[in-house]
Amino acid sequence: MKEILPGSTIGILGGGQLGRMTAMEARRLGYDVEVYDPDPLCPAAGLSSRHWSYSYEDLDRLKAFARSVDILTYEFENIPSASVKELEENSLVCPSAAVLAISQDRVKEKQFLAQNGFPVAPFRVVRTLAELTASAVELGLPVVLKTVQLGYDGKGQVPLDTIEDCRWGWKELGEPKLAIVEKKINLLSEFSVILALGYERNFSFLPIPRNYHRKGILDYSIVPSGLGKEVEEAAKEIALEIALALGVVGLLTVEFFLAENQQILVNELAPRPHNSGHFSLDSCITSQFEQLIRAICKLPLGQPTLKGPVLMRNLLGDLWRDGRPPNWPELLKIPGLKLHLYAKKYPRAGRKMGHYSLQGEDLKAVLALDKQAQKILQEDLEPSRTERNG
């Protein structure tokens, strides 16, 4: 195929913050952008020349959307792969519907990884409470019970520490017809490998972020990871082999566990920009979002060289007290801080409203700046003296 040059139109399925930041980078490169998302208030709507606000299962609207753009990509896995497969008949979609179908289904994903020899935590596919109980005994407690689909930001999974927990956990997930149960791993750390791949199997890795979670949601990431060259190179090799086995064109994020025994295990796949890669917007020569555009449009991949040590921290709706935003002016006094807000209208607990990145001479300096930022944000949540005194 020929290059899809600036001036062409990129269609993005999904208009959340990932779609928004992809649209920002696409427009900076000179592309037009159209977004398809059922939410009339989706964050990417304001950055698109046209927002198609219809169901992901409305094939007529989807096909009309596809005809209006030069290439399609998607921002998250919760778009029906069957709908994307329909679009592939007459449109170019990157990554493919086949990749999406695997990554949006935990059973298919784990089976693909295991059958191709990639390291994963021991798991079993279960269909009944009896199968869950037997599998928990076989794997050895504790285990984690997970839904097959719609699992992100800690959703759709229940930790089970005892056999007695199995009945409760099964009901907690709604007594599913199909689920997956995994051995709970004693972790040293979590990290992710994000790589871009072109049509000719050319590839480029972002610097590897080390990730820290709270209540199942990414809290912050730091780069460099501090994991050591041996771990990073081994993970890169695994991630590249997975990407090539899937035939990815675009981005692939591979989430990894580093176990206490130093074993590297694949946790999940995401064929799109990733929350842990947001640091690249401010701290890399080429961001993950620009790399996606370059890859799917058959342009040369950029150099995602790290400018310096960086921390990226998510800003959740919990920081909005009674709908009032945090003290942005005070936060922006911190040197090296870059604030990104996603134009979401309604904050709520656990909702990702934005993020900030912090750059400094070394990680020690960056962590000190982050401590200042956290103090500002937390103080803003404390009741005022008047409120405390009634």
Residue positions in the annotated binding site for ATP? 106, 146, 151-157, 182-185, 190, 213, 267-268
Please give the single-letter amino acid code of residue 152.
Y
DSSP of 184-208: PP-EEEEEEEEEEE-TTS-EEEPPP
Whether 158 contacts 105, CB under 8 Å = no
H or E element that contains 322: none
The annotation places the binding site at 106, 146, 151-157, 182-185, 190, 213, 267-268
- Whether residue 224 is preceded by a cis peptide bond, meaning omega within 30 degrees of 0, is yes
Any idea of the CA torsion for 294, 300, 301, 303, to the nearest 10 degrees?
Answer: -130
H or E element that contains 35: strand 32-36
Whether 350 contacts 217, CB under 8 Å = yes
CB-based contacts of 289, cutoff 8 Å, min separation 6: 21, 22, 24, 25, 26, 273, 280, 281
Furthest-apart CA atoms within the chain: distance in Å: 69
User: What CA–CA distance (Å, rounded) separates 181 from 161?
Assistant: 12
